[in-house]
A and B are shown apart, each in its own frame.
Chain A
Amino acid sequence: MKVTRNMSHKHIKTAKLNEAACGMHCLKMNNISVRDGSQVIIDNVNLHIHCGKITVIIGKNGAGKSTLIKAILGEVKHEGTIEFSDLKNQRMENLKIGYVPQYVNMEKNTPMSVYDLFAGYISNSPIFFRKNPKVYRYVKEQLEVFEAQELIDKRACDLSGGELQRVLLSIAISPIPNLLLLDEPVSGIDTNGMQLFYKNIGKLKSNYDLAMIIVSHDFDFVRQYADRVILLDKTIVKEGTPEEVLDGEEFKRLFG
Chain B
Amino acid sequence: MNIVYNIIETILPFPWVEYDFMKNALLAVLIITPLFGILGTMIVNNRMAFFSDALGHSALTGLALGTVFGIVDTNLSMLVFAIAFALLLNRIKRRKTVSTDTVISVFASLSMAVGLVILSRGGNFAKYSALLVGDILSITTREIILLFIIFLLTLIFWFLGFNKLHAISVNESLAKSKNINIRRLEDYFSVIIAIIVMFSVKWVGILIINALLILPAAASRNISSNVREYHLFSILISLFSGIIGLILSYYMSTAAGPTIVIIAATIFFLTLLLQSLGGKGIDHNG
Contact = CB atoms under 8 A, between A and B. Distances in A.
Interface centre among B162, B163, B166, B177 (most CB of A within 10 A): B177
A125 B164 CA distance: 11
Contacts of B221: 109-111
A214 to B, nearest CB: 15
B188 to A, nearest CB: 15
Nearest to B45: A110
B67 interface: no
Contacts of B160: 124
Contact of A75 (B162, B172, B231, B275): B172
A105 B222 contact: no
Contacts of B226: 111-113, 115-116, 153, 155
B147 to A, nearest CB: 21
A129 B228 contact: yes
Nearest to B227: A116
Q: Which bracket fits the contact residues of A?
A: 35 or more
A172 B162 CA distance: 20
Interface string B213-225: 0000000111011
Interface residues of B, number: 32
B268 interface: no
Interface stretch (A6-14, A23-31, A93-101, A205-213): A93-101
A51 to B, nearest CB: 17
B173 A128 contact: no
B275 A109 contact: yes
Contacts of A97: 177
Contacts of A177: 177
Contacts of A129: 159, 228
Contact of B173 (A73, A119, A125): A73
Interface string B158-196: 111011101101111111111000000000000000000
B45 to A, nearest CB: 8
A252 interface: no
Contacts of B227: 111-113, 116, 127-128
A155 B282 CA distance: 14
Nearest to B165: A120
B169 A128 contact: no
B219 to A, nearest CB: 12
B225 A126 contact: no
Given A104-B171, A124-B163, A75 B229 contact: no
A98 B178 CA distance: 8
Interface string B75-119: 000000000000000000000000000000000000000000000
A6 to B, nearest CB: 29
Contacts of B163: 119-121, 123-127
Nearest to B232: A128
A127 B162 contact: yes
A5 interface: no
Nearest to B217: A111
B41 interface: yes
B230 interface: yes
A126 B162 contact: yes
B224 A111 contact: yes
A102 to B, nearest CB: 9
Interface in A156-189: 168, 171-172, 177, 181
Interface of B: 41, 45, 158-160, 162-164, 166-167, 169-178, 220-222, 224-231, 275
27 contacts: A73-B176, A97-B177, A99-B174, A99-B177, A103-B171, A104-B171, A105-B170, A105-B171, A111-B221, A111-B224, A111-B229, A113-B225, A113-B227, A116-B228, A120-B163, A120-B170, A121-B167, A121-B175, A121-B178, A122-B178, A126-B158, A127-B163, A127-B227, A130-B228, A172-B177, A177-B177, A181-B177
Given A117-B170, A129-B159, A129-B228, 18 more contacts: A69-B173, A74-B176, A97-B177, A104-B170, A109-B275, A111-B224, A111-B227, A111-B230, A112-B170, A112-B227, A112-B230, A113-B227, A116-B227, A119-B163, A121-B163, A123-B163, A126-B158, A171-B174
